[in-house]
Structure 1
């Protein structure tokens, strides 16, 4: 029996390795401070350092630390958590305080029918074409539809700016269901913009996330 076990153990290890190589898509991408084994395990432009997804110093991202990241002293702490695709995400009912230049992370969203935005926009119950400059705001900033149809100004770190209309909530409380296109809850500092917003700012949507500031237009 000992000989058989010694023979089987290497085979089982090899089989596990083959499964990981053949089916990498089953592994969920981790957000800031999420678990990782390699760069490919992390969302967007994050890198894997000491088993956790963090900002990549070679690229100069400021998603997890520094400007635009959720802060422990901004008065907005997680109110719970949600397990989504094997990763535990914090949930929020608040966002960092708004100002004349509010730090945020700009993400990209497809607001059209069948897009990655899931259901229709919260403000008008409609879908929006990718040529429209529209955004969704994290739950705290959306504030129970208070900013519906308001125009905001979004400014990049190099000074380019544009305006966009608030049409939806980037839900920081719920996710991982058909209504949210299977996506995890939003972080509490997200401005989720259409491709038209990214184009107006001269940004590449393939980057996925960039630091911006925003204010009421």
Structure 2
């Protein structure tokens, strides 16, 4: 009789746990790569719900799930510094990430000489080649460069004057390292930089002497 009583007690406990679990609130956490989803907003980072699973967004051009990109950006759109780098008496924040890429991503346009002997010193990271100032080419901050997954891709840049142009991604604007010979003594890039050639600035009708200009960009 004692054994029957124990079994009955165990069944009662299991039934209680089953029905209790059914009334627990469902999680609101966003899914990552290949996670289940029902709406476009169920996926974390720069992902989209495709056939019930979170995957790379073809409109953004991410390759996170394919292993070719950086980890998804935080779902709240934040990108906090990963550390600091002291250089020439100043302290610079370093970043492993950049703000999420959208159809109109805010950025700071800077100017770079991609030719031999230019600002970066070394050839462009994507193709190990130097590029003429007459080419519309850019370097992207580390997070947007995404481990080289955007190498050779075309982006569209829009200036506040309403003019737009396209440019090819050929290099990384390093947000993690700097102040050494490899980076021509320059400090690390901020996490929101589109570093464009003279040709990019000219196509946008901008004077390179401005140094830094607010723009937006997107994948083509």
> TM (normalized to structure 1)?
0.66
Distance across 1 between alignment mates of 2:121 and 2:179? 11
In structure 2, the partner of 1:33 is none
In structure 2, the partner of 1:106 is 109
Tell me whether 1:92 sits opposite 2:118 in the alignment.
no
1:157 Cα deviation after fit:
1.1
1:74 Cα deviation after fit:
3.0
Q: Provide Cα deviations, 1:177-197, integer angstroms capped at 9, x if missing partner.
A: 111111000000000000000
Dislocated runs of 4+, deviation >2 Å: none
Tell me whether 1:165 sits opposite 2:168 in the alignment.
yes
In structure 2, the partner of 1:49 is none
In structure 1, the partner of 2:57 is none
SS at match of 1:144: helix
SS at match of 1:199: helix
In structure 2, the partner of 1:200 is 203
In structure 2, the partner of 1:69 is none
Distance across 2 between alignment mates of 1:205 and 1:158? 15
Tell me whether 1:142 sits opposite 2:145 in the alignment.
yes
Distance across 2 between alignment mates of 1:210 and 1:83? 26
Distance across 2 between alignment mates of 1:119 and 1:179? 7
In structure 2, the partner of 1:181 is 184
- Where structure 1 has 5 or more consecutive residues not aligned to the other structure, the ranges are 1-72
1:166 Cα deviation after fit:
0.1
Larger radius of gyration: 2
- Where structure 2 has 5 or more consecutive residues not aligned to the other structure, the ranges are 1-75
Distance across 1 between alignment mates of 2:211 and 2:77? 25
Aligned CA-pair RMSD: 0.8
> TM (normalized to structure 2)?
0.65
1:170 Cα deviation after fit:
0.2
In structure 2, the partner of 1:81 is 84
Distance across 2 between alignment mates of 1:126 and 1:178? 18
Tell me whether 1:190 sits opposite 2:193 in the alignment.
yes
SS at match of 2:147: coil
